[in-house]
Structure 1
Amino acid sequence: MTVSPHAAMVLAAGFGTRMRPLTDTTAKPLVTLGGRALLDYALDHLAEAGVRTVAVNAHWQADKVADHLARRPAPPTTVVLREDPILETGGGVRAALPVLGNDPFFVVNGDAFWVNGPIAALHRLTAVFGDDVDGVLLVQRTSHVHADVGFGDFALDKWGVPRRRRQREVVPYIYAGVQLIRPRILADMPDGPFSMNRAWDAALAAGRLRAVVHDGIWFHLSTPPDLAEAEMIMEARVTGDARWPWR
């Protein structure tokens, strides 16, 4: 059964420590790439997927996040949820459930930046989201990432079932900061701060987590050099420069 989510969460409460000094005075999702805030790219993808309401959590430079969203026209309609203390990824999503409702919804990292392949990434998540799953993750091949991503996050079998990286193992996929989940994936999680990894591990143990490999462009934007390289690559894409790595 294909779902059509109308709600989403954008995680924008982090400190962006590794992106300093760019984040000394602003939230990381407001850092610009190609003249636009990273947050706007995420919201554009969600709007194109038919999402009407987006909860955006905020902590560091929360006023700037709220002001930026207030100047952005709908759709989607955005609801800012200020966190104090910060609730981490899972706790932030759980706290937003009253806004997100009871149906499946997207969760996007506020610094996630991707370019769709032949079929939009969010539509590809919905296409494999059946009654037998509680979550579908978008992953990218580590070999396609122009940044240090360590040893990867997941291996996948031929059915798209992910497996965590074992100790001293190198695996070929990294989480791309985009997921589609049911609210019940958080049902047994604690109140307060916790990582979304805990909910994923529970879903993995129950056989109810899947992954889709992104077939477009994705950037790991952790540091100012990562951002500078992404700027160069995206400019090369527009101008047809030989530095453009995907031809």
Structure 2
Amino acid sequence: MQGLLRHTDSPYIRVVGFLYLRFTCEPEELWTWFQPYLEDTEEFNASANPSLKTTIGEWLITLLEENNYFGTILPRIPKKIEDGIKVKLLLLSHKKERAKLNLSIVDKLRPGTKVRAMYADEDNEPAMYDAVIDSVEENNQYWVSFPAGNDITGDLLQQVRERERRKAEAVGRDYASRPASYKGSLSLKLDRWTTRKRSRSPAKRRDEVLVVQPGPSKGTERPSSGLPSPEKNREADERLKKLRAMYGDASAKTKED
């Protein structure tokens, strides 16, 4: 993986490596992979417009801040981890701004001067604190001490919230909405030109209704009940006797046996 991220032949080879990490890496490990390259100044063209150039570092920041990459929804970063990343990115932007400002006041940064400096350890996320310069080394490097009780991580998180609110107001209400997941998109309203497939399940059967006709009026014949008349019964008995006389009575033989 490091071979892709540090490749020297083409920035696009590096971009492939970073995109692979953005889509497959565990969210809590993204910052560890991306942080060393956030100030990388190698330029490349990340869009279809050949005149638009960006740096690897600036491009990586957009991968961490945005959920949409040229129409493709990026894997969602859990809110707690996302807030931590945005605080660190805000600190990084503060660091760059302060580095430019400090160049103009280097002669005033002496031991005992009160400043603001970044601090982080295993239990504390990186944040800016009140500090005092203890000593100055070559190449404008400083040793500082931090008075107890200073914590502005909450203030930085509030700044992140404020930036998101302003950005949402600038681009519309839909910015802050969650992108539709695959399952969620299945329940979205169909487009007006979309045709819905017919169900393969059989149509419901209609219940048959028996309509009772009114009774016959006087002077009309009653419909036949469907039972055989006595004359027909006698004719059937006569035919049965003739058949028994010709072929014998099978039931009678069985009883005699």
- TM-score range relative to shorter protein: under 0.3
- The structure in which a higher percent of residues are helix is 2
TM-score (norm 2): 0.24
